[in-house]
Structure 1
């Protein structure tokens, strides 16, 4: 599941464990118990479930394996909070996670405390020379990376939930300043050649980033920044959602079936002026319902919408090889969970901006194994490999990605119709 390098079980790992686990609870603190229990759609999960499932991961894959006198905190949790690990056993139906009014939020938080204390005790007694230290540390790091993925999901799932409330409540009361006018898109050219793709260093990576391998790319150009709300609004105004020639066949069928005419979270409203009847636009954000900021990167687009827009402007989406080759030449821009929680365009005037920490960027690459890919043995091997079908790769990271979680080789993936994540557009030619 990650690189087989040696990781010392140390105070550093214990501190990181505490920081990541605390952050998940902190993210839930502005919410009511009702907020934490509701499931807005089958693809999303309740906040309470996220808090419990990430705890289940540590209990199932670490405590059960390494505790000499292991006893489950509650045997029923093994089924309730199993997500998709068939090798572990039965699972509660995904679409019915919002029905779990019990255990209560307080019981889930007590579950977290119990497992946290036991993991910390386990780490404290394993020294550098313990034969299990390497495997233990690798699994703990995997569990922390897994929890950071769920921290991002907590925010995107919550945003979808709050958007369904007619009160349009805000998660964050922090004021959101208008974005600065971005520079015009510049086209950055990259020569054809053989490039190396995939993770190679001793730092953490998921197994789907391995192995490092060579691929040939033709000469291509990549847009210097992401597409903005204002630019995408021109596509909407031009009737882009009504023009079948811009859409892939399956995408056009989806648009017509769902009766779509604009991005998720956009809300058209008539002008208040009686003499000037025109449409103004609002956008639901984690800061509440706000006027659409034309200068911010457009987000919450499906692959179909991103691909149609690219076709409309005479461009295309990049392949993941092109994206990674270009991104390896820029500095990492860390993500920021709080307080922004909204795409913040980079003020960095480097040639390639908004690469990380703004919006996930669709590619035309189907999610498939790299040449030589080998999944881990046992249930832990179900983490990535079995999802390598009918999905597209996204690269970069978003404004909801925890700091330190992103890297140039990271392969996110979603179905072509997914819109509730912070997904945007970087154009290529």
Structure 2
């Protein structure tokens, strides 16, 4: 038996040695999707007691609640009535979820290809009110960064949802052309009391403006009429740009951050936003916020975001048809950002939270650098600053041009 195993091992070594000399073939990392039927996927939504978050995602604030995304799994709801002592109270299991928006106790959430509508007027008795199926033709497949080839052969877009990946090393014939990882599927191919709307961070891809919910995917914008909040209607789907990652709304315009620049859309016709202009830069991950005549965006280089340096850019958008770069500031590995009055908050990853005085946007002045923390995104509320980084939710109280730590809350 041992001799047989030895012979087999030697045979494999010999084959491998031959392969290494074969110039027409190579070994590559192949990603294959783990699939779930849409029917099973759609029946797995659940509301339960709070639980640990597997992968901390985005944050969203509404009334006295903080919603923390558990990437592709659901949403943890935190009671923030006492910011010094936040308390998790509910977990909404939503497979394939990345973003939410809330208006007047109605919560909208993506679930891969679908839009879900929840009534959260009674936080202890959350109800799924509506599901709009297959309204998102593009959702984040979360392809592993180490993948060199993606094998979609067994993926049936009409009946399956991708819920994970397996990576294998395979011997394949070399290709002269670059392998396209970002696969695009097209169809079968692949008024009362005062209204209250929540606030997302700069990494958000959902925005509510008046009676419309705007959402963006990789290259597509999907618009819903939410005049009847619990019964949204798909109003329009249109091309939005390429590699869109974030969306910010200000003064009847949408600003879309892509890994190659910023796109500006007018909301003069709210059901069909009109392209106005774009500002292009080198490749890098790119959230954006806008205050008045100036846009502030961070560009994170390195890894899968790009090969160049990381910077904070200040762009003059007083003329929406001609956005103009004013200045750049070097950063280490920036993510999200936000502002309150004349203070700009920039999350610089493992280099901490950085505060800039933007009273003169053409010459920013860094006023503080809170190191020894990891920062990913912020929400600047009226009386406090929410920040998420690593596995921790931080809350700060404004003190002049600085902030004072109120509490930290471990999310895992």
Do these two structures clear the TM 0.5 threshold for a shared fold by scoring above it? no
Structure richer in helix, relative to its length: 1
TM-score normalised to structure 1 length: 0.21
Structure richer in strand, relative to its length: 2
TM-score normalised to structure 2 length: 0.22
Higher RCO, 1 or 2 (CA under 8 Å, sep at least 6)? 1
